């Protein structure tokens, strides 16, 4: 007879877990027969010993089976989603979902909220007056059918085991395990019922994965999981050493997303968004040009339709911070070669744009505008950032975050930095 202690010791000692044992574990945990402290011990054993490919496939399947699956069979369009591992200034989803919908796909984008220095897609959209992120499964499908895309919170019924396991990982130092990260992300994406999935795996100082090797391993693991569960999956590794675009925050990122949908977005943001759009369309077999959908206004129209369908007012004025302070003077005259994403993201969080705990409120108006980006010519003393806050007392901790790290800004008097690639590598 299977019991929790036997599974913990087996994994602790480097032995693999049988499929039936994994399925028993999740059923018993849901029923309360396996305690949180026992599951925590097993998560720590997995952190050190890992899960092989077969174990991970069954582990992920058990997480999916712990709840419901979104039924998208009524949709006539091919379905495709995108997931980003998170970064600073990463507002791609706001542009990408309506863009790909304008090209003929249905995009069920189940997103999350920000934590720490990385922003949350739902926090950004909720800076739009009236926008609703909490939709029932029926509402989600209805918005998809009418607008072609939806960006909403994953319902409590999708992979509920993941919610419990993530809470344990968060307090037991086991978040960084690639098998556990992969199963957490992919269980929800597979449960949402999409036919295809593109993964944007960020790499760099402002990303969860700092090294290329770890990012590649995560991407390969998630692509394999998707394919094994019948979801056509591809991963793009994209850089996150510098904030993406020039806006970091909530309302400010919505504004920049609107500029991008009008064809006026920053070059780095547009390159990444179009690369992801092309990958999504390729997986669905749709022959469409995403750049043309921006140029002729179809993408912006799809965005406005989605916002209205979710209760928002696409014409409403967005929150504007009452306190604005130029800061971070350039240390010399020359080419800006570095603007550290982690430091900027942390400063935006301290201004109120992010949260330390999931239950913390966020400010719609707080954030940062990058007045210069690597590759720009700057003059000594020129402010490189514009800080925005609801409360002037927020400036001190934000400035402390910028000052706490060496090498936040680097300037070269001799030559500009080489252009950063929009996509480092494609997997799958």
State the Cα–Cα distance between residues 125 and 362, nearest whole angstrom: 12
As beta bridge partners, residue 427 has: 235
Residue 233 sits at φ, ψ, to 5 deg, of -135, 140
Is the Cβ–Cβ distance between 154 and 193 less than 8 Å? no
How much is the pLDDT for 270? 98
Residue 166 burial (C-beta neighbours within 10 Å; 0-12, 13-18, 19+): middle
- Count the residues in the chain: 428
Strand-strand pairing, 323-329 and 383-389: antiparallel
Instruction: Report the alpha-carbon distance of residue 69 to residue 88 in Å, rounded.
Output: 31
Question: What pLDDT score was predicted for residue 359?
Answer: 74
Q: Which domains does the chain have, with CATH numbers?
A: 4-50 (1.20.970.10), 80-309 (3.40.1030.10), 323-412 (3.90.1170.30)
Distance CA 109, CA 197 (A): 10
- Residue-wise DSSP of 215-248: HHHHHHHHHHHHHHTT-EEEEEEEE-SS-SSSEE
Q: What is the pLDDT of residue 115?
A: 67
Alpha-carbon distance of 73 to 370, in angstroms, equals 43
Give dist(CA 159, CA 145) in Å, integer.
Answer: 23
Q: Is 193 left (phi over 0), alpha (psi -120 to 50) or beta?
A: left
Cα–Cα distance measured from residue 83 to residue 106, given in angstroms and rounded to the nearest whole number: 15
Please state whether beta strands 232-239 and 247-249 pair in parallel, antiparallel, or not at all (unpaired).
Answer: unpaired
The pLDDT of residue 404 is 82
Question: Would you please indicate which residues are annotated as catalytic (active-site) residues?
Answer: 83, 162, 169, 184, 188
> From the CB of residue 267, how many other CB atoms can be counted at a distance below 10 Å?
12
CB 108 within 8 A of CB 65: no
**Going along 98-251, which residue ranges are E strands?**
107-111, 149-153, 196-203, 232-239, 247-249
CA dihedral 280, 243, 113, 326 (to 10 degrees): -140
Residues near 302 by beta carbon (within 8 Å), at least 6 away in sequence: 98, 99, 101, 102, 147, 148, 149
Segment-wise mean pLDDT, segments of 10 residues, the chain, 428 residues: 91 96 96 96 97 97 95 96 95 98 97 78 96 95 97 89 90 92 95 96 94 97 97 98 97 98 97 98 97 98 98 96 97 97 96 83 95 97 98 96 90 92 96
Give residue for tokens 């039924």.
71
Other Cβ atoms closer than 10 A to 320: 12
Element holding 166 (H helix, E strand): helix 160-172
């Amino acid at each position: 007879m299977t019991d929790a202690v036997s599974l913990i010791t087996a994994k602790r000692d480097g032995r693999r877990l049988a499929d039936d044992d994994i399925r028993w574990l999740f059923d018993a945990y849901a029923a309360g027969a396996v305690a949180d402290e026992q599951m925590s011990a097993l998560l720590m054993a997995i952190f050190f010993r890992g899960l092989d490919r077969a174990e991970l496939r069954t582990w992920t399947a058990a997480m999916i089976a712990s709840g419901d699956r979104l039924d998208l069979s009524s949709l006539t369009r091919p379905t495709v989603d995108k997931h980003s591992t998170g970064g600073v200034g990463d507002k791609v989803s706001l542009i990408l979902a309506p863009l790909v919908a304008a090209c003929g796909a249905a995009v069920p984008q189940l997103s999350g909220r920000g934590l720490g220095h990385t922003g949350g897609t739902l926090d950004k959209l909720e800076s739009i007056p009236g926008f609703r992120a909490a939709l029932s499964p029926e509402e989600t499908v209805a918005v998809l059918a009418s607008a072609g895309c939806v960006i909403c919170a994953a319902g409590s019924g999708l992979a509920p085991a993941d919610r419990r396991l993530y809470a344990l990982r968060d307090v037991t130092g086991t978040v960084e395990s690639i098998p556990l990260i992969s199963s957490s992300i992919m269980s929800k994406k597979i449960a949402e019922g999409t036919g295809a999935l593109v993964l944007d795996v960020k790499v760099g100082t402002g990303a969860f994965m700092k090294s290329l090797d770890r990012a590649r391993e995560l991407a390969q693991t998630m692509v394999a999981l998707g394919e094994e569960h019948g979801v056509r999956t591809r991963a793009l590794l994209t850089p996150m050493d510098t904030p993406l675009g020039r806006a970091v925050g909530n309302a400010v990122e919505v504004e920049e997303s609107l500029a991008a949908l009008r064809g006026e977005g920053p070059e780095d943001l547009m390159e990444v968004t179009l690369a992801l759009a092309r990958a999504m369309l390729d997986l669905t077999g749709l022959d469409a040009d995403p750049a043309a959908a921006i140029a002729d206004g179809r993408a912006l129209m799809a965005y406005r339709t989605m916002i209205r369908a979710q209760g928002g007012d696409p014409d409403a004025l967005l929150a504007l911070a009452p306190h604005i302070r130029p800061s971070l003077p350039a240390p010399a005259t020359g080419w800006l070669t570095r603007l550290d994403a982690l430091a900027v993201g942390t400063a935006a969080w301290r201004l109120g744009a992010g949260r330390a705990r999931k239950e913390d409120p966020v400010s719609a108006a707080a954030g940062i505008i990058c007045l210069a980006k690597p590759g720009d010519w700057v003059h000594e003393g020129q402010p490189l950032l514009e800080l925005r806050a609801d409360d002037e007392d927020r400036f001190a901790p934000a400035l402390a975050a910028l000052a706490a790290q060496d090498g936040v800004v680097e300037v070269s008097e001799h030559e500009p930095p080489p252009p950063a690639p929009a996509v480092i590598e494609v997997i799958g």
